[in-house]
Structure 1
Amino acid sequence: MALEEAQQPSPDNFLNSEQEALLDLYLQNLDRYLEELRASEKIQVEIETQHLKKILTK
């Protein structure tokens, strides 16, 4: 019965503790993915810029 109570959300919380932990993990992974995506976009812009400079200097 204590396990059932721990899994039930309290009136103040929408999610139970297990769901909150899973949501936190998901958000951390999403943040990491977005940071990697931003970094790859910066690298892509740098590559394209260098390529354009090379074309223009010919």
Structure 2
Amino acid sequence: MEKYMCYGALGVAAVMFLVFLLDLAIGLFGGGSFMIPDIFGMIASAVVAYLGFNASRDLK
């Protein structure tokens, strides 16, 4: 995996984490009925961020 792909994965994961966090906090996309998918989305974006960070460390 190239460096730019690792940084791209980190960036996308950060944006998605913020979107899910905003949705959970203020009900941005449909109110409080999507609490469980928001939590799983934040977990999934954290996993993607970890994988991107770990891959970038391997390239050094």
Q: TM-score, normalization: structure 2?
A: 0.47
Tell which has more relative contact order, 1 or 2 (C-alpha 8 A, sep 6+): 2
Give 1 or 2: higher helix fraction: 2
